[in-house]
Structure 1
Amino acid sequence: MGERVVRDGERRRRRPTKGGTVLSAQLIVETALRLIQEHGAAALTVRRLGAALGADPSALYRYFRDTDDLLLAIADELIGRTLCTWEASGDWRADLRSLGLAIHAGYQAHPQAALLTCARVTGRANELRSVETILGVLRGAGFPDAEAVRIYHVFVDQALSFAALDAHVLTLPRELREAERRAWPEVYGAVAADAHPHVASCAPLLVAEMSRSAYPAALDMVLASAAGRLGFLRGAG
């Protein structure tokens, strides 16, 4: 999909495609997500999308300038899905924890898309709503604006970094994932104590710990640090 700008007034297609489908930006995004899940980044072409939608590939330009414009829409869709499943409780620490876990889970449900979108800034409605929500939680908790922005930055980048890391594991071929899983009990669980005393001593814990994502523990560490900072600021005030 190359650069091609279509005037806003021409973006909507009101007639059904030759396959009987009425195109919309939402339908294109949902179809692209499905194709990416099945085929990875290679699926993000107008030819594949047109075939999946039963539409002439050129019709997609009525809705998106190019594939990067579509990719940003996909990224914003994933953010929006997270926000739809999250509810605030009024406890800032619990709210950020549940939101962080929801972000991580949302990307794990679409690992191929996560690899393509986690590092992108969409500047679109759902992302703006997400930033507004997180800053609102932090400012409502009593963090000064500079602290709220700094914690927001750490919180979001941590969630997206782990989302991309864990998504990468999920996109590995099954045999490679299994080989990596076996490495912990078969290699680290069997090291000689005289050669690697610390690993040998911690081997059972390593085997258990390394089989799961570190994100929940890392998130708790960040939130504990933020809570400590808030307590300090209140004491200093």
Structure 2
Amino acid sequence: MQEQRPRGPRSGHPLTKAVIIDAAMLIVEQGGANALTLRRLGAELGTDHTAVLRHFRGKDQIILGLAERLMSEALSEFEPGSGWRATLSQLARQVRQTCIRHPSVAVLAAMRVSRSPDEFRGADIVIAALSQVGLRGRKAALIYRTITDLALAAGSYEAAMLTLDESARDGDREALRREYLLASPRDYPHLAAVAQFLADVDDEEQFETALELILDGIEVHAARVAGSSETSPG
């Protein structure tokens, strides 16, 4: 199938922020995080790179635009669940899937603060869910920052793994199947006891387990906060 190029001056369409981000996405997905430069972007768009600076103040602003695009895509098919736990689970899965679809872009931009309406919408969804479990004010802010950073870190880590050379990924997988099984039971008794199961854990299972631990942690923390409020002097 013939590759579609982003619309821009080369095809007679006006240069806009959306067109520039389309081109930046393509460059990063094809060449990796280090491939994005203003000159490469100008060449991809069929224009002088200085034209890009009429829409973005510099490369960092473009990276923030990529972060905004990731969040926009993650939210595009998001529907809140029937309760706080289902809502946060669904949002986390959407973010993860977006990172997996665009691993090089996620490595470059997922951890940035885009200051965009979609990012604000995502934050509002998370904080609303936390309020349902009794976390408000500064506690809600603390837990929001903590769990979103954990979720983005997990998505970015998995994305980074996908950008590795295939031989490196195969080597790491093979280490779990072979080298870990050879670990001395005398020197590493606890590792040796579970080594046979390590290679069986896939990315999906690992993500879902991490998500469950985070959600369980929120519930325990909310209960602790509620208990503390009840016992504090009135």
TM-score by length of 2: 0.86
User: Which blocks of at least 5 consecutive residues in structure 2 are unaligned?
Assistant: 1-7
Q: Secondary structure at the match of 2:23?
A: helix
Structure-2 separation of matches of 1:64 and 1:207: 45
Larger mean Cα displacement after TM superposition, 133-142 or 28-37: 133-142
Are 2:166 and 1:174 equivalent residues in the alignment? yes
Question: Which amino acid letter does the alignment assign opposite residue 44 of structure 1?
Answer: L
Structure-2 separation of matches of 1:201 and 1:167: 30
The answer as to whether partners of 1:21 and 1:54 remain within 8 angstroms in 2 is no
Structure-2 separation of matches of 1:144 and 1:127: 19
Q: Report the counterpart of residue 107 of structure 1 in structure 2.
A: 99
Aligned structure 1 segments of 4 or more residues deviating by more than 6 angstroms: none
Q: Secondary structure at the match of 1:202?
A: helix
Deviation at 1:129, TM superposition (A): 1.6
* Alignment match of 1:65 (pick from 57, 60, 71): 57
Deviations 1:119-168 (A, max 9, x none): 31121222112112211221233322222212211110101111221121
Deviation at 1:18, TM superposition (A): 4.5
* Alignment match of 1:212 (pick from 203, 220, 233): 203
The answer as to whether partners of 1:189 and 1:207 remain within 8 angstroms in 2 is no
Structure-1 separation of matches of 2:10 and 2:166: 38
Q: Report the counterpart of residue 175 of structure 2 in structure 1.
A: 183
> Alpha carbon RMSD of aligned pairs, Å?
1.9
User: Which blocks of at least 5 consecutive residues in structure 1 are unaligned?
Assistant: 1-15
* Alignment match of 1:23 (pick from 4, 7, 15): 15
Structure-1 separation of matches of 2:49 and 2:69: 22
Are 2:109 and 1:117 equivalent residues in the alignment? yes
Larger mean Cα displacement after TM superposition, 139-148 or 226-235: 226-235
The answer as to whether partners of 1:32 and 1:43 remain within 8 angstroms in 2 is no
Deviation at 1:232, TM superposition (A): 4.2
Structure-2 separation of matches of 1:42 and 1:144: 40
* Alignment match of 2:188 (pick from 190, 196, 213): 196
Deviation at 1:46, TM superposition (A): 2.2
